[in-house]
Structure 1
C-alpha cells in the first residue's frame, strides 16, 4: 500500500509515474538520475515508500523498466550481490537506520557489495564455518578467512556470517553482520580461475572491529538471516526470466543458423532437446518470479538454480562441439581482475570454461538436490549425526 494514496497502485498508474519521472528528470548525469529514480520509488516498486519503492506488486517492476528503457541503468555485474542478496536481506532484517543508510547507495551503485560466507573448511556445509566474532563492548572483533568471494577487490561492504557462540550446535551459534571492507585488518587476495581471470578472492579478517550497529538480526540468529540471502541468491542466479530464445540457447542457435557447414544430425537433435529444455526453464523462471510477488523465495529457487547450471554447461559444451577446432579457441589467457561475468561478449572457449563454475557458485548442485528432495519433494533427510553436537566438539 502506498502511504500517500492508501491503496495499491495499478500498472497504468505505475507507467504514468515512470513517464512523468522520465520527462522531468535530466538523464545527462547518470548518478543524479539513479538517485532521483530511487527517491521516486522506481528502484524496486515492491519495496516500501522511502526505501526505493511504492509498496506496489513486484511484477509491476517490468512496467517501470519498459518506460525507462534507454535511460541510465544499473551495472548487473558489479551490483549483482548487492541487488540480489544484500538488499532483500537488509529489507527483511535490518533496522530502519540500516535500511536508510545502505539501500540507496547500494541501488545506485555508489557502494558495491560482496558476500563473506564460504570458508576453506565450510563451503557446502556452511554452518560449520569457523570465522569468529567476539564481542568487546559495543564492538565485535572478527578473525577468520573467507574464500570464493566475488568482487571483494572493489567492494565497499560485505554481508558476513561469523560464529559468535562455539558452545552450541553449529546452526545456532552464528550471527550475521555487515562488514566494512575498508576496515583495518581486511585483506582480499585474488584467486585465479580456469579462465585466467580473478573474479573472486580469498579474504583474511584479522582483528577486524565492527560496531554492533552493523549486526543484522539478533545475536545467534545468523543462520535464519543467511537463509534469506541464500534463497534470494539462487533465484538471482537461476530464476532470470529472459526472452524466448535469448541467453545461451540464442547464441548456440545463431551459430547453427549462420554456419550450416558445421551441422550434423546428432548435433541437430541435441540442439532441439536443449531448446525445449531452455524454454521450459525460462517459463519456470517466469512462474517463480510471479510467486515471489506473494513473499520471500522458497526452496523452489534451488531447483531453478540447479536447472540453470546443468543447462548452461550442456549448451556451452554443444557450442564448442558445433564450432569444432574453432570452439577450442580462447581469446585471452592474461591474468586480470574481472569486473563481471561476460558470456555474451566473449568467445566460445571462455563460455565453456566459465560455465563449469555454475554448478558450484550459489550452492553446489549436490547440496541443491538435497534441498529439493527434502523441502520440495518431502523425502527423508540424510542422517545428520552432528546436528545436536556443540560446534567446538566437532572434528575438524
Structure 2
C-alpha cells in the first residue's frame, strides 16, 4: 500500500488542524497536555463542539448523524487531535454500544438511543467484567430471567469505568444455563436509575475514582431493551470488542506522549547534560520510537484493508498488544525521567487550577498518576496474553 497521504488527505489534515486551533478550548487542552484530570463537564463541553461540527460520531453511518470519513481520515483525526491535546471521546456510548445498536438493534432502539448519545443526554458505561469473569468473559454469572415483559437481573459487574457518571449501562447477562457458556449470553440495555442497582467506587493506584462495582438485585429490565436475539449476545460482544481493542492501541496518544517525553528529557539534567543526551536513555527512546513507527504503519495498513466498511478481526488483537506495550514503555521512560520526584505527591496537584504548595516536582504528580493508571492497559479489553492466543489461533493457525 502507499504509505503517503494523498493531496485530498493532506487537505483534510489542514482542515482538522484549523478546526482544532480555533475550537479546542485552551483550558481543556492544557489539562490533556499536562496529564491532569478531566471532569465530566470537560468531556461534555468538547462533545458539544464536535457535534456542532458534525465530527463526533466518526464510526456511524450518515443517516444516524455520523460523518462519512474514510479509515485514513479517521486515523488523521485521531493523530491530530492527540497532538493538539483534544480529549479522547468517552468510548462507551459513541464507539462501543452505538455500533452494536446500529448493526444488531431494531429501528426503535436506533431512534431512541442514538440521538441521546449524540446530545450527551445519555452517558453509557460497560457491564462486561465480573469477579471471576474478566479475560474469560464467557464465564460471567449475572443472570437475567424473563418474567412476562421484563427480565429480572441479579449479579455483579466490576471495573465499570466512569459508572458513577452513567445513566445507562450495556450489559452481558446469562439468559440460558443449559447450553455452552458462550451460547447462553444476551445483550441488555439497562437504565442505571432502575431500583435495585447499586454503584460502589473502586479507588485505583493513582488515587482516582475511575472504576466501580455495580450490583444488580432484582432489577426489572423491559424485554424491549434486549439487543438482537436472546442468547446471541456473545456475537455482539465480540463485535464490540474489535472496536475497543483497536482504540486501545492509541497510536495518536503514543505519538503525543513520545513528543512530551522528549521535551521532558531535554529539560532534565544528568551529570550536567540533558538526559536526552545520555546514551542509555536516548537508546531507550529510540527503541520505543522504532516500535511506535512500526505500529503506526501496521495501523494504517489494517485500516486501509477495511476501507470498504469491514471490521478488523484478529488484527485488532495485534494492535491492542503492541499498542498498549508501547504506551506503557513511554509511561515508564517518563517516570524514569522524573525519578524520585514522582512520589509522594498531593492528589490536589492533579487539578490544573491548584494554587497550593507543590509537594513534588510540578511534572511529577500527573506523570506518576498516569504511569500507575496505564498499568491496566495490558489487562482490560482482554488481557494481552489472551490476545496473543487469539492471534496464534486465528492468524497463525496454531
TM-score normalised by structure 2 residue count: 0.77
1:162-200 deviation digits (Å, cap 9, x = unpaired): 000101110111111111111111111000111111201
Shift of 1:43: 4.2
Kindly indicate whether residue 163 of structure 2 is the aligned counterpart of residue 128 of structure 1.
no
Using a 3 Å threshold, how does the CA distance of structure 1 residues 58 and 101 change in structure 2: closer, same or farther? farther
Using a 3 Å threshold, how does the CA distance of structure 1 residues 36 and 334 change in structure 2: closer, same or farther? closer
Count of aligned pairs: 346
Larger fraction in helix: 2
Using a 3 Å threshold, how does the CA distance of structure 1 residues 198 and 233 change in structure 2: closer, same or farther? same
Aligned to 2:322: 307
Aligned to 2:88: 76
Distance 1:314 1:49 in 2: 38
Residue correspondence of structure 1 range 188-199 to structure 2 within 5 A? 188-199=199-210
Shift of 1:128: 0.8
Using a 3 Å threshold, how does the CA distance of structure 1 residues 322 and 105 change in structure 2: closer, same or farther? same
Structure 1, 207-216 or 247-256: larger mean CA deviation: 247-256
Aligned counterpart in structure 1 of residue 123 of structure 2, from 112, 119, 123: 112
Distance 1:128 1:81 in 2: 22
Aligned to 1:253: 262
Using a 3 Å threshold, how does the CA distance of structure 1 residues 167 and 355 change in structure 2: closer, same or farther? same
Using a 3 Å threshold, how does the CA distance of structure 1 residues 174 and 352 change in structure 2: closer, same or farther? same
Aligned counterpart in structure 2 of residue 273 of structure 1, from 287, 300, 318: 287
Aligned to 1:391: none
Which 5+ residue runs of structure 2 have no aligned equivalent?
1-7, 25-43, 352-362
Computed over aligned residues only, the root mean square deviation of the Cα atoms, in angstroms, reads 3.6
Instruction: Confirm or deny: 8 A CA contact 2:169 2:190 kept in the other structure.
Output: yes
Instruction: Confirm or deny: 8 A CA contact 2:135 2:386 kept in the other structure.
Output: yes
Distance 2:87 2:262 in 1: 27
Kindly indicate whether residue 154 of structure 2 is the aligned counterpart of residue 154 of structure 1.
no
Aligned to 2:28: none
1:47-80 deviation digits (Å, cap 9, x = unpaired): 3343013666454557899999xxxx99635x22
Distance 1:353 1:328 in 2: 11
Aligned to 2:225: 214
Aligned to 1:181: 192
Which 5+ residue runs of structure 1 have no aligned equivalent?
1-10, 337-343, 380-396
TM-score normalised by structure 1 residue count: 0.77
Using a 3 Å threshold, how does the CA distance of structure 1 residues 46 and 170 change in structure 2: closer, same or farther? closer
Shift of 1:45: 5.8
Residue correspondence of structure 1 range 1-396 to structure 2 within 5 A? 43-44=56-57, 47-53=60-66, 57-60=70-73, 76=88, 79-238=90-249, 240-242=250-252, 246-261=255-270, 263=275, 264-294=278-308, 295-332=310-347, 347-379=366-398
* SS of structure 2 residue aligned to 1:208: strand
Shift of 1:362: 1.2
* SS of structure 1 residue aligned to 2:284: helix
Instruction: Confirm or deny: 8 A CA contact 1:330 1:347 kept in the other structure.
Output: no
Shift of 1:345: 10
Instruction: Confirm or deny: 8 A CA contact 2:151 2:221 kept in the other structure.
Output: yes
